[in-house]
């Protein structure tokens, strides 16, 4: 149970479906030491990352953990070098709000998903426009690299239009995260000297999420 509490929310569905079995992950937006985090929880996964700048909060340990890295500007939609139908999981964790054409990026990368695979998309919802400002982002405009507001209904419609089945769509609320908020706040304040806005995301309902899956391939006898 304690192990599950420490598991980053974006990895929860992966753990439910794959456990520690091998699978192929395409992490769209691979900065902030995301490769190390993924390999910590899923040591048997094949990790492929996409980012415009390979050095965005990554170091040699991250590159050693990566099985593939695609140094691409997502907005250019130049994804021919990424093989189609090759990944069990597509992960978009707080990426599309930084892109003027995040909808087009989603559509262009869905073909990389294998039949039976799933895509998880998380992003600040429109409700975040009205939250108080806080260091570490609690209001959408706290991050000056945010350029576009999406909502769960819009993103679900995009993925449905790509032939995916919507499993869930709505505001991200993690009851365990809310329950553990005082402990988390105390821990990060000791570490950083302040409590960042991200600690309060579940309490406020800062983020929207959409989980969608590609139907399994059907065999013809």
The tens digit of pLDDT for each residue in 187-214 reads 999 998 999 999 999 999 999 999 999 9
Q: Report pLDDT digits (tens) over 41-100.
A: 999 999 999 998 776 778 888 888 999 999 999 999 999 999 999 999 999 999 999 999
Q: What is the pLDDT of residue 1?
A: 45
Please report, for residues 68, 80, 96, 186, 188, the alpha-carbon distance to residue 122 in angstroms, rounded to integers and kept in the order given. 23, 24, 8, 25, 22
The tens digit of pLDDT for each residue in 97-116 reads: 999 999 999 999 999 999 99
CA distance 125 to 96: 11
Query: With 50 as the cut, is the pLDDT of residue 220 above it?
Result: no
Per-residue pLDDT at 62 = 87
In the structure, what pLDDT confidence band is assigned to residue 3 with cuts at 50, 70 and 90? low
Q: In the chain, where does DSSP find H-type helix?
A: 2-6, 12-18, 34-41, 60-65, 102-109, 152-161, 175-179, 181-192, 201-204
Examine the pLDDT at 129 and tell me if it is beyond 50: yes
* Tens of pLDDT, residues 155-186: 999 999 999 999 999 999 999 889 989 998 99
The model's confidence at residue 218, banded by pLDDT at 50, 70 and 90, is: low
Per-residue pLDDT, 60: 85
């Amino acid at each position: 149970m304690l192990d599950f509490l420490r598991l980053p929310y974006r990895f929860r569905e992966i753990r439910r479906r794959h456990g520690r079995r091998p699978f192929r992950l395409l992490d769209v937006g691979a900065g902030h030491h995301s490769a190390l985090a993924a390999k910590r929880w899923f040591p048997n996964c094949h990790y492929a990352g996409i980012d415009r700048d390979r050095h965005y909060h990554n170091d040699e340990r991250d590159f050693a953990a990566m099985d593939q890295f695609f140094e691409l500007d997502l907005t250019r939609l130049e994804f021919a070098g990424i093989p189609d139908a090759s990944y069990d999981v597509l992960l978009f964790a707080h990426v599309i709000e930084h892109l003027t054409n995040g909808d087009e990026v989603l559509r262009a990368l869905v073909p990389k998903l294998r039949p039976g695979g799933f895509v998880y998309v998380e992003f600040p919802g429109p409700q975040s426009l009205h939250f108080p400002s806080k260091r570490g982002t609690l209001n959408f405009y706290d991050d000056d690299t945010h350029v576009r507001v999406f909502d769960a209904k819009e993103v679900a419609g995009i993925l449905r239009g790509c032939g995916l089945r919507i499993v869930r769509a709505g505001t991200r609320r993690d009851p365990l995260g809310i329950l553990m908020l005082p402990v988390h706040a105390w821990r990060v304040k000791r570490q950083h000297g302040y409590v960042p806005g991200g600690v309060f995301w579940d309490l406020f309902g800062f983020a929207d999420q959409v989980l969608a899956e590609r139907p399994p391939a059907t065999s013809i006898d």
